[in-house]
Homo-oligomer: A and B are copies of this chain.
Amino acid sequence: MSKGLRSGEVAEAAGVNMQTLRYYERRGLLAEPRRSLGGHRLYPPEAVDTLRIIKTAQRLGFTLDEVADLLDLGRRRHTHEAGLKARAEVKLTEVEARISDLQVIAATLRTAISAGCDDLAACAANPCCPIPFTGLTREDPT
Contacts and interface: CB of A to CB of B under 8 A. Distances in A.
Interface of A: 49-50, 52-53, 56-61, 70-71, 73-75, 77, 83-85, 88-89, 91-92, 95-96, 98-99, 102-103, 105-106, 108-110, 112-113, 116-125, 131-134, 136-137, 141
Copies of this chain present in the complex amount to: 2
A73 to B, nearest CB: 8
Contacts of A95: 102, 105-106, 109
Q: Which 4 A-B pairs have the closest CB atoms?
A: A83-B118, A92-B109, A74-B121, A74-B119
Given A84-B117, A85-B117, A95-B106, 9 more contacts: A49-B125, A53-B120, A56-B133, A71-B120, A71-B121, A74-B119, A84-B123, A85-B112, A98-B102
A16 to B, nearest CB: 13
Nearest to A83: B118
A118 to B, nearest CB: 4
A92 B59 CA distance: 23
